[in-house]
Structure 1
């Protein structure tokens, strides 16, 4: 089995904190998710996570006007400059202090940052396409100027449209006007008069007006006006000092107020082109206003908590909102009053996850009582179930049909129809129990569940919903359950140091106990149902034969899984006992490997046959989480304990920040409390996709997907200087050497080039090309053709490729079926999809064809459109046929088309 899994995507979390950004064309939204950045494509309905990761949570994002460079800054002021089209981190830099504001100039030559009370202007690093010499600069970050004058933290920075001036808004109740370079006659100006911190200051489109907005809901309109109290000049002074503006300065022209029932303003955004002002309030309401008249267009409540950030796209049509408390991300089109995007992650930690049988969806459950269905291809949550009233602990699919089962601490097991998206059956026990695990018969007829409150296993019939039986025998809480893939037995693991194998479908229900040395945490069946893997609290991973009930082998995983010192640990990571066990284990799709994870930052992949640790995956390097570093910094230890756990909420400057609304002793959600200050990194569930090409892990940061299909831009093996995109197209179009062009495209491994070469090969040459293709490229070709058959409109062309591969290399495919299993599944799914679409198309057009066949034949010698159509149908082709060729060219010809 291949082990080169790479981080592919991050689901389950859509917004954490910090800035939101629209791309210059307005089609993509950049959202900070912990220490990573996720890009939501709002037009194609897809999302992807950029591959780089910060060492702390991201707070500031900025994009150049061209949209090619992204600057992201974390809580400590460390920045990463990223090439967005290539998804490559170009440069790492530190501002040495937390950055509170960030903005690129409209010209793209400079960017300004607010570092505490100071403002710094830097030159934008140039890219090779901008530089005359085509080379990157020696020193990418060069500081231009430093501005001082504010007495508190700078909260917002905005540029003028000509990039000569910029505005700063700060907590010291003032906004200030600065010039990029010294201007003749210009003096930095202070705009004072607000009673609370200024959240934003903006230029109007003509730069004749400035708007400043403060936290208390006051909007001041500033204009460059003469002093009304100045003495009137004499005629001589008027003639002498026509350009003298001694008594002219920026003054408040209008005052407006939001009036939102004691709610504070949390964020603002202004769009100069359309004169739109958007404000997000602390009560979850946002308001849209038209300036300068301050006409309210509409208000809408979109959240139960604070709106943390708002931004407007370039055209002024879409508004993006982020609410970090509930992890909400919304894009609202204000003209049609409709949502473009409405996503929300789990409020609390995820407990379990499972892939759907087709591998297209992932279901996650969490302590917030919600069940979310995530689409793997798009990365979006497509449905959320909220019927459970308490934390959902486990989820499992029936192998037949789209039926999902979930167990919850509210004492119910629920069955969900994932075609109609509804709860169609609920199972309960005679006494109220909190169910912690469940297992489903592969046929979907029987579901069983275990509880921490009871030592029995309850079994229900899915058809009737009745309780069939209670299996007694364990002397401790049941922690895990699993049905054999062939449905013959069910296995239960308990805290009483035993695993029991139950034959529930026999007349005499017997159980075979397997004795272990510690509490059982999880059990997993190999896909062939012949082997069982058991994880225990002492860090051991043991493998048992199901038929003989004997232990075959075992692995000591304590050293492998232990890692990451919690902020409160008094021992080093190697000696801490809490991380030295696997709480979740799963077999790979082919049964050769086991994936294991626990309360640690590591996911371990073991080989079952050789009992070797094949690879360790690091879940997160985010230092904002507890348990991601091996050694604690001694300078962060104080007399009162670790610095990260000291509550400094009472020292906040604003009253609402000083109020402590959390419940005593609460560390997690589900009540009116705040999240824990530093969540502990851990993995609560892992699962392999049915095809085996990827696996996912439910972690503190979200739903991490690792895949084998994260292709690099090029493959350096067998690559020389003559293999370039231009030479590949030359070989394809000029030399007509299709096999060589295809091999060169595979070596470069660029998707657009590969698609162009693939579609440029004539259909009558497919058989010859495939027959001569080296077998080393067969798997990649099969995978590429399978994906094209699903996405490309050229159905027959793709089917000819599939036919040629199976005819020419059918024996090789049969001998290497285990290697190409995932590709064959994709081919099967694509062919079935084409078949269904053609059947539906034929059913829709059957009456049209009958009508055409029933038309009388025309006179000989005349051009008959019906005859041509029938000929085209008979030949198996699809044409557009002109009914009357004798009509005048200037008239609109009548066409008959058959899809």
Structure 2
């Protein structure tokens, strides 16, 4: 089995904090998600996450105008320089202070970075050559008395504006000019959050946090003071734009105010080409104003929390908004007043996930009580169910049909129809209980749920919604339930009472077979053939039981494998803190050869369990984000103060600089949740709540603190030295193909395992020879041919050709595949996924063509009826005349 799984995507998180950035063509949006950057392709409706990680959560990102270089800076000021097109790290750099804003100059030659109360300008490194010291400091600019908040360049890259908490904005030139001193724009009564140039450089707008917008223009005379008096613009002359801006004596031309009570300006952006000013407020409202008339075009509420970041596309058509607290990301087209993108992850932790049988969809449940359905192909959530009123503990798909089930702590189990997108059935117990485990019968007709307080298992009929049975016997909360996948009417339940019970739920005898383990049971998993069950316990062990003989077959001690990472308040090192580490989720591969295990750790572990082995195959680290608790290996003495207390544990929320974050306007005793200053700060911990393998075997997913992580197989060339000789070369394969020996050429191409060569041989086999080649193909290459054909069917236009291959292989080797269905399960499911996807695309095209043909037929009937009545339409008469003239 292949184990070269690599990080592929994050689906469950769309925005965390930091600024949003559009690409230069305006078709893609970059959004920080924790310590990674996600790219949302707005035209092709796809999302991908770059495989590059920062040390901590990203605070600011910037993309060069040519789209080649991306720089992301974390909360500590450590930057990563990335080749954006390839997604590879070019260089690491430390700015040594937290960065509020970072901007490329319009010509792409310089990078301006905030550095406390200073501004540093660096030369842009070359993304094509690996340099020893790529970051070269151009100049450091001083003058502000408090932290700099934003930077904006002039259109010609010769000067830039900075804004600060000291309630002023300043104008600097890139290079020294004779007689020039930095200009100060004062008069605001709160921190200035943004300052912007117009496209002609004759006007500057400054926006402050208290909702004031000042318009600055050149003063007409030398003796006029910078006060409330109106000033008129003067011509800039024949000098360059940067020199003209620097030599202008600026004065306040007009003062404007938003006049929204109890509202602060959090973010702003200005589009110079269309003179649009976009403001995001602390109440979740955003507005569009056309400058310089200050006319309000739109004001819309999109969230209940403050809008953390605002971005506008280069064309000025699309607006992007990010809300940090709710994890919302929105792209709005203001002219048509429609959403281009509207996504939100789970508000709290993600608890559970499940794959559909075809592997194209993932369902997740979270602490916010929502059930979300995600498309694996594009990474977007396309439906959200919010009927639950408490955290969702587990979700499951029915093996047949588009039905998903969810169990929650609110005491209900709900069934959702994924065709009509509705909650069509709700299952409850006779007395209120909290459900912590869920399982669905392979037939999809019976659903079972286990409770945490009554220690019972409830069974319902999906068709009628009636309670069928209550299974009693456990003496502690039930942690896991699973039905035997082969349909043998066996239900396994695990509990904190250190017992696993296998119930014969549909038999007359109601026989129960108990197994005893060494500690509390946390997770169960059946092998796909039903012959083995894996049990994860609180002591970090995975115990394997043979269900046919009822005996224990193997024990894997995984405590040392999963250990790693220490919390901020741990008194021991990461190597010795394994006492609390345990697996909370298990998943078998489709062929049953390996087990994937995840739990209260930053690691997900893959074990080989064939023939009684318990070999560790690979460890996957889900996150290197030091902003999460449990990712650091060693105690950092620099983070410990003189009292021996870790500074990360000190609650400094009262030191927040934003007034609205410190002001308490609630009644005494009425504040709850995050607004209550008595609530202790919650720091997220790196852990994996649930792991699941895709039915195709090409990927696996983990519900983690970072979101829904997708790991997929690497498609690079995997060199296999067996069955190779010195004469086996790509040219030799092409020569054999040219001689008409198609079967031999295909086998040799599979041995070399080079995708372009294999595709060339595959596509040059004549249609008439497909059945003959498929019949004579050695069984060793059947799985490889199925997987290759399924991938080819998804990506190539040769639809009929691929279907002929799949039909020939399945008809010829069907009995062999049926007898070894466990071994070929990943390959068959890949073929099923490709066929289902192709069927959906074809049916959509057929529906569109049917509507078009129906329209043409109706138009033909209408024309014929008018002709029979002697009322020919002008168009048809003109066409008849033209035909006659020809």
The answer, yes or no, to whether TM exceeds 0.5 is yes
Seen in structure 2, the aligned counterparts of structure 1 residues 743 and 268 have a Cα distance that, compared at 3 Å, is farther
Find the counterpart in structure 2 of residue 858 from structure 1: none
Find the counterpart in structure 2 of residue 95 from structure 1: 95
User: SS of 2:297's equivalent?
Assistant: strand
Superposed displacement of residue 515, structure 1: 1.6
Find the counterpart in structure 2 of residue 480 from structure 1: 480
Superposed displacement of residue 652, structure 1: 2.9
1:461 and 1:90 map into 2 onto residues whose CA distance is 58
User: SS of 1:798's equivalent?
Assistant: helix
Seen in structure 2, the aligned counterparts of structure 1 residues 838 and 325 have a Cα distance that, compared at 3 Å, is closer
Find the counterpart in structure 2 of residue 294 from structure 1: 294
Find the counterpart in structure 2 of residue 862 from structure 1: none
Superposed displacement of residue 827, structure 1: 3.1
2:695 and 2:638 map into 1 onto residues whose CA distance is 48
Seen in structure 2, the aligned counterparts of structure 1 residues 746 and 468 have a Cα distance that, compared at 3 Å, is same
The equivalent position to 1:181 in structure 2, one of 175, 178, 186, is: 175
1:65 and 1:744 map into 2 onto residues whose CA distance is 43
Find the counterpart in structure 2 of residue 63 from structure 1: 63
The equivalent position to 2:628 in structure 1, one of 621, 625, 628, is: 625
Q: How does 1:538-617 map to 2 (within 5 A)?
A: 538-576=539-577, 579-609=580-610, 610-617=613-620
Find the counterpart in structure 2 of residue 499 from structure 1: 500
Check conservation: 1:368, 1:670, Cα contact below 8 A: no
Matched, 1:431 2:431: yes
Superposed displacement of residue 759, structure 1: 7.0
Matched, 1:224 2:224: no
Check conservation: 1:600, 1:681, Cα contact below 8 A: yes
Superposed displacement of residue 785, structure 1: 3.5
1:541 and 1:65 map into 2 onto residues whose CA distance is 52
User: SS of 1:254's equivalent?
Assistant: strand
Superposed displacement of residue 736, structure 1: 13
Gaps of 5+ in 2: 226-237, 858-878
Seen in structure 2, the aligned counterparts of structure 1 residues 83 and 303 have a Cα distance that, compared at 3 Å, is same
1:292 and 1:267 map into 2 onto residues whose CA distance is 19
Superposed displacement of residue 845, structure 1: 7.3
User: SS of 2:219's equivalent?
Assistant: strand
- Kindly provide the CA deviation profile for residues 508-532 of structure 1, in whole angstroms up to 9, marking residues without a partner as x: 3232221222111111111111211
2:258 and 2:620 map into 1 onto residues whose CA distance is 50
Matched, 1:202 2:193: no
Check conservation: 1:397, 1:403, Cα contact below 8 A: yes
Check conservation: 2:749, 2:758, Cα contact below 8 A: no
The equivalent position to 1:140 in structure 2, one of 121, 126, 134, is: 134
1:228 and 1:538 map into 2 onto residues whose CA distance is 81
- Kindly provide the CA deviation profile for residues 288-322 of structure 1, in whole angstroms up to 9, marking residues without a partner as x: 01011111001100000010000001000000000
Q: How does 1:494-893 map to 2 (within 5 A)?
A: 494-576=495-577, 579-609=580-610, 610-638=613-641, 639=643, 641-659=645-663, 676-708=681-713, 710-712=714-716, 782-800=786-804, 802=806, 821-831=825-835
* Number of residue pairs the alignment of both structures matches: 835
User: SS of 1:99's equivalent?
Assistant: coil
Seen in structure 2, the aligned counterparts of structure 1 residues 175 and 758 have a Cα distance that, compared at 3 Å, is farther
Find the counterpart in structure 2 of residue 6 from structure 1: 6
User: SS of 2:561's equivalent?
Assistant: helix
- Kindly provide the CA deviation profile for residues 128-160 of structure 1, in whole angstroms up to 9, marking residues without a partner as x: 3xxxxxx44443211111111111111111111
1:65 and 1:284 map into 2 onto residues whose CA distance is 30
Seen in structure 2, the aligned counterparts of structure 1 residues 379 and 838 have a Cα distance that, compared at 3 Å, is closer
The equivalent position to 1:154 in structure 2, one of 134, 148, 159, is: 148
Seen in structure 2, the aligned counterparts of structure 1 residues 829 and 695 have a Cα distance that, compared at 3 Å, is closer
Check conservation: 2:528, 2:822, Cα contact below 8 A: no
Superposed displacement of residue 674, structure 1: 8.4
Seen in structure 2, the aligned counterparts of structure 1 residues 154 and 530 have a Cα distance that, compared at 3 Å, is same
The equivalent position to 1:165 in structure 2, one of 159, 174, 190, is: 159
Seen in structure 2, the aligned counterparts of structure 1 residues 247 and 92 have a Cα distance that, compared at 3 Å, is closer
Q: How does 1:23-422 map to 2 (within 5 A)?
A: 23-128=23-128, 135-227=129-221, 229=223, 249-422=249-422
1:585 and 1:34 map into 2 onto residues whose CA distance is 26
Superposed displacement of residue 498, structure 1: 1.1
1:13 and 1:671 map into 2 onto residues whose CA distance is 26
Seen in structure 2, the aligned counterparts of structure 1 residues 293 and 778 have a Cα distance that, compared at 3 Å, is farther
1:408 and 1:581 map into 2 onto residues whose CA distance is 23
- Kindly provide the CA deviation profile for residues 414-466 of structure 1, in whole angstroms up to 9, marking residues without a partner as x: 11111111111111111111111121111122222111111222222222212
Check conservation: 1:226, 1:247, Cα contact below 8 A: no
User: SS of 2:481's equivalent?
Assistant: strand
Superposed displacement of residue 632, structure 1: 1.3
Find the counterpart in structure 2 of residue 864 from structure 1: none
- Kindly provide the CA deviation profile for residues 312-336 of structure 1, in whole angstroms up to 9, marking residues without a partner as x: 0100000000001000000000000
Find the counterpart in structure 2 of residue 856 from structure 1: none
Seen in structure 2, the aligned counterparts of structure 1 residues 523 and 717 have a Cα distance that, compared at 3 Å, is closer
Larger CA deviation: 45-54 vs 91-100:
91-100
Check conservation: 1:661, 1:672, Cα contact below 8 A: no
- Kindly provide the CA deviation profile for residues 153-208 of structure 1, in whole angstroms up to 9, marking residues without a partner as x: 11111111111111111111111111111234433111111111110111001001
Gaps of 5+ in 1: 129-134, 232-241, 853-886, 895-899
RMSD over aligned Cα atoms:
4.2
1:376 and 1:319 map into 2 onto residues whose CA distance is 26
Seen in structure 2, the aligned counterparts of structure 1 residues 807 and 654 have a Cα distance that, compared at 3 Å, is closer
Seen in structure 2, the aligned counterparts of structure 1 residues 12 and 294 have a Cα distance that, compared at 3 Å, is same
Find the counterpart in structure 2 of residue 451 from structure 1: 451
2:491 and 2:704 map into 1 onto residues whose CA distance is 28
Seen in structure 2, the aligned counterparts of structure 1 residues 546 and 449 have a Cα distance that, compared at 3 Å, is same
Seen in structure 2, the aligned counterparts of structure 1 residues 893 and 186 have a Cα distance that, compared at 3 Å, is farther
Larger CA deviation: 457-466 vs 659-668:
659-668
Seen in structure 2, the aligned counterparts of structure 1 residues 119 and 391 have a Cα distance that, compared at 3 Å, is same
Larger CA deviation: 605-614 vs 774-783:
774-783
User: SS of 1:788's equivalent?
Assistant: helix
- Kindly provide the CA deviation profile for residues 27-74 of structure 1, in whole angstroms up to 9, marking residues without a partner as x: 111110001111111111111110111110011110111111111111
User: SS of 1:574's equivalent?
Assistant: helix
Superposed displacement of residue 635, structure 1: 2.6
User: SS of 1:359's equivalent?
Assistant: coil
User: SS of 1:641's equivalent?
Assistant: coil
Check conservation: 1:348, 1:668, Cα contact below 8 A: no
